[in-house]
Amino acid sequence: MKPSIALPLLLAAALATPAVAQPANLAAAHAKLAADYDTTIAELIELTEIPAPPFKENVRGLRMAEKFKALGLTDVHVDAVGNVIGIRPGKNRTAKALMVAAHLDTVFPEGTNTKVRREGDTLHAPGIGDTTVTLAALLAFVRAMDAGKIVTPRDIIFVANVGEEGQGDLRGVRHLFSASPLKPRIGDFISFDGSTVGRITNAGVGSRRYRVAFKGPGGHSYGAFGIVNPMVAMAGTVSGLYKIVPPTDVKTTYSASTVTGGTSVNSIPNEITMEFDMRSASPANLQAVETQFLKLIADNVAAENAARDTRFGKISATPELIGDRPAGTTPATDPLITTAARILGAGGYSSELGASSTDSNIPISLGIPAITLSAGGGGFRAHALDEYVNVERGAFVKGITTAFDIVVAAADIKR
């Protein structure tokens, strides 16, 4: 999950919300969540210590599948891209289902030490807060529903999905909403990502990411001096990008992010490769910046070919799209949002709407109501080796319980 752009949530408290499980059922479920604190923490540690680097989530995924089966979820399986899926049936099996997901992958490469270290009320390890803590929360949710004998009006499809981070490019959820047979069954989508409860991500920050290879003939830095240099075309593209004034109605950003290439210090390079990132929650803004960026590449290649000797060959550039996250927004008046806001408020959390780049981007872009929430006692230093979560019993149980109540209530929304 990426940092959110927080926006105040101004919703009338009197907005109608659907009935949920009876108090007695919820009380029993809440008691189970509290009683299971040690079990949930043990599962959090266990899952965190199973590495899940980008594109290599399968070992952690198989362990989640085992746990889904042990909890009695139905139709537990690993799909074609590695998503782990289990269904808790509701009263109406033909109604549109609620999908509840948390991603398996972390940003950390293979070989990263994921051993969990406890210091008082905090657990430290790469990936523990983004978002292994919510994988453990999904398991706690199912146990609590069973303890409270809660039968939801519609099915809940639990998913531990792959490919949320980085160049995973939301491939797990993208598959669910494109090629999976589950697609027509999904009426609402909640992803849990992170441990700091109180934010409702309802706007998907879209992104377009490119890897651009600038190529030329190359040669000796002294002997071939005066011929075209792909480095110049690349530098002009970067300089031009940072002269673009982005739209201000919806936050829109760009970045020149990585660069590789060249042969040696005394060589004119024959290839330089750079990666670029552009983001906005506005599809129109994102497209506008992307159009200007692609024109910059062409213009700077042409300028370099005109400025220097091309007798050994010309400069060229090949933009390769390496990331495409769609943008969009679930309206603030949607029952999924008003339900979550009501429950967060009742729990004493200052709910707010925000924009971020999460698994919810995919369903939001398709017009399917979707939000991203958190579950737990607070998480810090995401994407850093010193990442940690707060597991003080009171705060942790309260955060898990509030998230649980939102899931139960959302399963009662009629679509």
pLDDT per residue over 182-235, tens digit each? 999 999 999 999 999 999 999 999 999 999 999 999 999 999 999 999 999 999
pLDDT at residue number 11? 40
pLDDT of residue 12: 38
pLDDT tens digits along 86-127: 999 999 999 999 999 999 999 999 999 999 999 999 999 999
List pLDDT tens digits, range 338-381.
Answer: 999 999 999 999 899 999 999 999 999 999 999 999 999 999 99
Which CATH number does 5-204+329-410 carry? 3.40.630.10
Please give the CATH number for the structural domain made up of 206-325.
3.30.70.360
> Alpha-carbon distance 180 to 79, whole Å?
8
**How many residues does the structure list for the chain?**
415
- Kindly tell me if the per-residue pLDDT of 5 is higher than 90: no
Q: Which of 17-21, 176-180, 411-415 has the lowest mean pLDDT?
A: 17-21
Residue 176, judged by CB atoms within 10 A of its CB (0-12, 13-18, 19+), counts as buried
Nearest to residue 412, comparing CAs of 102, 145, 177, 137? 145
The pair of structure tokens assigned to 38 is 């040690």
Contact 365, 353 (CB under 8 A): no
Report the interhelical angle of 37-48 vs 393-410 (nearest 10°): 90
Q: 176 CB contacts (<8 Å, ≥6 apart)? A: 79, 83, 99, 159, 161, 182, 183, 186, 362
Instruction: Report yes or no: 265 and 183 within 8 Å, Cβ to Cβ.
Output: no
Task: Enumerate the domain spans of the chain.
Answer: 5-204+329-410, 206-325
Q: Which residues contact 23 (CB under 8 A, 6 or more apart)?
A: none
What would the two tokens of residue 258 be? 């990585």
Whether the full predicted model's pTM is greater than 0.75, yes or no, is: yes
Cα–Cα dist 250/241, whole Å: 18
Residue 1 is predicted with a pLDDT of 54
